[in-house]
Amino acid sequence: MSPLRMAADDELAAYAERHTSTASDTLRRVAASTLAWTEHPMMMIDETEGQLLRMLVVLTGSRRIVEIGTFAGYSALAMAEGLPPDGHIDTLELSPGHVAKAREHIRSAGEGERITVHEGIALDTLERLQGPYDLAFIDADKSAYAAYYDLLIPRMRAGGLIVADNVLRHGRILDVHTGDPSVAGMREFNERAATDHRVETVMLTVRDGVSLIRVR
């Protein structure tokens, strides 16, 4: 991508953020804490996507949510802001360091009762969890998205929503010759969701691509 294109994209992202409802003080504190802690800031969703997740939780009336890929807890906390008081989020994370930071953020936000962080291999944890879930958010190992999808579908309620992040892989999804397993895995997932008669799918070009997959 050319420097000019990158600058234009950054300007558009800033414009979109200015015209999106402001994140809560809690989320802004978590974002600042995460950026000061991590060497991989791109692993955290941005404020605009966080507000999108919160709105999707509200619009779907979700009470039970499962998230694959906790990182430092920002996305889980954004979704929690859209939950009713009796709502709950199960969030799955492999890295012990990420788990510790996420639990710290969740405790400081006062959401320890409504958000449970499960440490371990997501596929193993997901097999143990019982649905039905109203909403699922996938933002983890890109090569495993299709496997996550296969386990999620039977755990979603009819009308439930699966939200998948990074489905465009910064444009590399169009490179059919790449040897990158994350791109190949994402292409498999995208094709599966698009051709699965059990769901209806809309792919949005928000940030690095977000797919909304509604279970029939």
Q: In what order do the strands lie in the sheet with 64-68?
A: 115-119, 88-93, 64-68, 133-138, 156-165, 210-215, 199-204
153: DSSP letter: G
Split into its structural domains, the chain has a count of: 1
98-145 pLDDT, tens digit per residue, is 999 999 999 999 999 999 999 999 999 999 999 999 999 999 999 999
Percentage of the chain beyond pLDDT 90 is 92
Determine the structural domain holding residue 108 and report its residue range: 3-215
Strand boundaries in the chain, DSSP class E: 64-68, 88-93, 115-119, 133-138, 156-165, 199-204, 210-215
22-78 pLDDT, tens digit per residue, is 999 999 999 999 999 999 999 999 999 999 999 999 999 999 999 999 999 999 999
Euclidean distance between the first and final Cα of the chain, in Å?
A: 38
Pick the range with the lowest mean pLDDT from 88-92, 151-155, 178-182.
178-182
> Could you tell me the two tokens for 149?
């999808």
CATH number of the domain that 26 lies in?
Answer: 3.40.50.150
> Could you tell me the two tokens for 63?
């009470």
